A and B are shown apart, each in its own frame.
Chain A
């Protein structure tokens, strides 16, 4: 039964992957990768730097011949080195005075195109990266064809590829010269990747893939991580004692903030945004550290305090309102250097303590390495065609914490299964135990019942049947008894025996049924005596306490009463009636005989019969009474409706 779902699962997985691949190939195919390969990959340029008085809008036309003839031949990608300390000092000066630095620099890059082999209507110029903190302008044959960053660099500027299209209509001149005008501050440097000039449809896929990987994918990763963070904060709301979920939310938020600059195109001058993105890196490190502490359950007080202090200090120093340090990209490269130091310390501290902590450390280490690589790229130490790997740090975070969660989830399921199995086992054991004790109880009960029955029957035999038989045997042995008398005694014995058996029949708490049974037994004996039995019973309520033992007592009481009438009075009529009151029922047995002295009969030694009736009545919580005169006797048996348990 386990096989078909497994097969189905595999098929489903294959199908999903196939759909994904199809979507990706459609996306790339749509950009037409099949065009002629003929194109220009421009890897050499002339470069020179001029000084201007301030930032100006790029003119509509620039003739490269009018620029100073100071062209230096450089290879593309072009990444001139940056003097970080000078840059920071200049930035600090700018921040402090709040003025435009004297002498804006303009980098000119001139690429000469010889004999473009491509004949296409729409050409595109594509460069992976143009980096500058001023405007970017592209001139084709001296005419302004494209400009960007008119208001200074945006946060995503270094992740935005250069892309401009040229409409080569019939009358237009072929592209001969491409001139880039890049404005920048005196302290900072520009960078430029190699350029490609091709039909637009050929280049489009490369451009889109680059844009997707550098901007859209990071945005998606950030959003996904943020979504998981929101999920985890809801978990925390229900389980406030598990602070790790809140920490995870915190991680998600800070990494979301940290990732903003990869895809948000606000101008760099938004100081609060800058403060947020720069500081969130430190918060991120701090959050990971606290998370690690939570994982390995060791406080590491001093390290925590130090990290908090550094984070606070940087946060305060970089506050835009205080303006102690400017937030310009010119300063941040130095501030950023503190972050890897912090995270390395955190790595070392977290390493020793737990396997889970080690996993987080691997992740943190990877993220730090990515951040370092970003820093190197940002500062022209790696060439301009490289990748900003920091954009994928949320993915690393996501995988790391995903693995943690996955392990916990799987462990939790296994634990639940184990607990359930244990519970089932205990339940079975308990059931068996209960069954055994129940069995034992039933056995005890049965033994008790048998013993009680035996006791009751023994008593009954002893009082009636047994003693009658013994006296009959004695009489027969002495020889002074007639056959008829023997027969009569034996018949009485048989009647006794029948009543004993009747008492064991289920009468279902019905006293009338019991009396009916007695009548059924006595009727044949009355037949020859000439005594008439008047049966005047009325419906009676049930007596729930009527069990075989009490039934036999009642049978014997009534039997004795009728036997007394037959034996001692010369009655011709016996009347049996029943009545009921609030708390009991009565059986009345009256006759029209000669009557007897009740007090004398009870006191007399021979009146054992009446005493027996009284004793038997008492043992079922009932009462007997006699009213007798010379016209007859009324015997009444009172029985309670309910007996105390």
Chain B
């Protein structure tokens, strides 16, 4: 159960916000059993989760959406603000489109299915910490649709130029998906795995995972722009 840990001098600090004691316990065990991970904190409610953010930032934060005193979305938002370097992950039973999309829009970079095996869980945490993000076909389709309907998208040359820039998160303007990002999403909707896509596009599978992370951050910006656009059309902002 303990995979060969890479010779990383700095372990991955994992914090957990989860009200289900069983899953919380299973997750703690996974983290403690991994030599390259440290459990940085545990919270069972929204309030505790928010309090956790006052402490030193973790590398990966796992958040459950259905907390007894409110939604985990609030915790994700606050974490994206207070712990900008932290990779946020939402834990979900089904990985359904509604929950995952809302979490990503709030700033999450991935999700963890609660029925995953312990090894799968540690893999996902590791992958996320290394800049990768999981994605399902339906989520990919939703993201594509979201960018197709993005309001007043500025015209920018798609392709290599857009890829070269590190992240579009900093810009306030609605970002566009690059041609290759679209290609990745398109393969995902057809059921190809990350490894297959890497083969088809002649990229490393790390790069493909990083593409998804970048797409997620663009989605966050887009959804923010959309919210502003909506507010403007409804006369809430002048």
Q: Give the B-binding residues of A (Cβ under 8 A).
A: 491, 494, 497-498, 501-502, 505-508, 510, 512-513, 515-520, 523-524, 535, 537
Contacts and interface: CB of A to CB of B under 8 A. Distances in A.
19 contacts: A494-B115, A501-B94, A506-B97, A508-B141, A510-B141, A512-B189, A512-B190, A513-B137, A513-B141, A513-B190, A515-B191, A516-B192, A517-B191, A519-B137, A520-B191, A523-B193, A524-B116, A535-B191, A535-B192
A529 to B, nearest CB: 13
A491 B141 CA distance: 27
Interface string B135-157: 01110010000000000000000
B196 A535 contact: yes
Contacts of A518: 191
A508 B94 CA distance: 20
Interface in B172-209: 188-193, 196
Given A502-B138, A505-B138, A517-B136, 9 more contacts: A494-B115, A506-B97, A507-B141, A513-B189, A513-B190, A520-B136, A535-B191, A535-B193, A537-B191
B69 interface: no
Nearest to A519: B191
A516 B115 contact: no
The 7 closest A-B pairs by CB, nearest first: A516-B191, A516-B137, A519-B191, A505-B138, A512-B190, A520-B136, A517-B137
B120 interface: yes
Contacts of A505: 96-97, 138
A502 B191 CA distance: 14
Contact of B117 (A513, A519, A524, A535): A524
Contacts of B188: 516
A501 B116 contact: no
Contacts of B193: 523, 535
A507 B189 CA distance: 10
Given A507-B138, A516-B189, A516-B190, A524 B96 contact: no
A586 to B, nearest CB: 16
Contacts of B115: 491, 494
B94 A498 contact: yes
A537 B97 contact: no
B120 A524 contact: yes
Contacts of B120: 524
A521 to B, nearest CB: 9
Contacts of A491: 115
Contacts of A506: 97
Nearest to B116: A524
Which of B120, B136, B190, B193 has the most chain A CB atoms closer than 10 A to its own CB? B190
A28 to B, nearest CB: 68
Contact-residue bracket for chain B: 10 to 19
Nearest to A494: B115
A496 to B, nearest CB: 12
Which of B137, B138, B188, B192 has the most chain A CB atoms closer than 10 A to its own CB? B137
Nearest to B188: A516
A505 B117 CA distance: 25
Query: For chain A, what secondary structure do more than half of its interface residues adopt (helix, strand, loop), or is it mixed?
Result: helix
Interface in B100-151: 115-117, 120, 136-138, 141
Nearest to A516: B191
Contacts of A508: 141
A510 B140 CA distance: 13
B54 to A, nearest CB: 36
Nearest to A576: B191
Nearest to A501: B94
B134 to A, nearest CB: 10
A510 B138 CA distance: 11
A370 B210 CA distance: 109
A278 to B, nearest CB: 81
Contacts of A501: 94, 96
A515 B196 CA distance: 16
B191 A512 contact: yes
Nearest to A514: B137
Contact of A520 (B96, B97, B137): B137
Nearest to B136: A520
B138 A517 contact: yes
Contacts of B138: 502, 505, 507, 513, 517
B183 to A, nearest CB: 14
Contacts of B136: 517, 520
A515 B188 CA distance: 11
A511 to B, nearest CB: 10
A174 B137 CA distance: 128
A228 B50 CA distance: 89
A416 B57 CA distance: 77
Nearest to B190: A512
Contacts of A497: 94
B197 to A, nearest CB: 11
B132 to A, nearest CB: 16
A512 B190 CA distance: 5
A543 B137 CA distance: 18
A388 to B, nearest CB: 76
Contacts of A520: 136-137, 191
A51 to B, nearest CB: 106
Which of A505, A510, A519, A535 has the most chain B CB atoms closer than 10 A to its own CB? A505
Nearest to B97: A505
A84 to B, nearest CB: 92
Contacts of B191: 512, 515-520, 535, 537
A112 to B, nearest CB: 100
A481 to B, nearest CB: 20
B74 to A, nearest CB: 25
A517 B94 CA distance: 12
A506 B139 CA distance: 11
Nearest to A502: B138
A508 B117 CA distance: 32
Contacts of A516: 137, 188-192
A513 B142 CA distance: 11
Contacts of A519: 137, 191
Contact of B189 (A494, A502, A510, A535): A510
Nearest to B192: A535
Contacts of A524: 116-117, 120
A169 B117 CA distance: 140
Interface in B22-66: none
Nearest to A534: B196
Contacts of B96: 501, 505
B94 to A, nearest CB: 5
A581 to B, nearest CB: 20
Nearest to A540: B190
Contacts of B97: 505-506
A485 to B, nearest CB: 17
A515 B191 CA distance: 7
Nearest to B191: A516
A364 B117 CA distance: 112
A96 B182 CA distance: 117
Which of A515, A520, A524, A537 has the most chain B CB atoms closer than 10 A to its own CB? A520
Nearest to A520: B136
A206 to B, nearest CB: 76
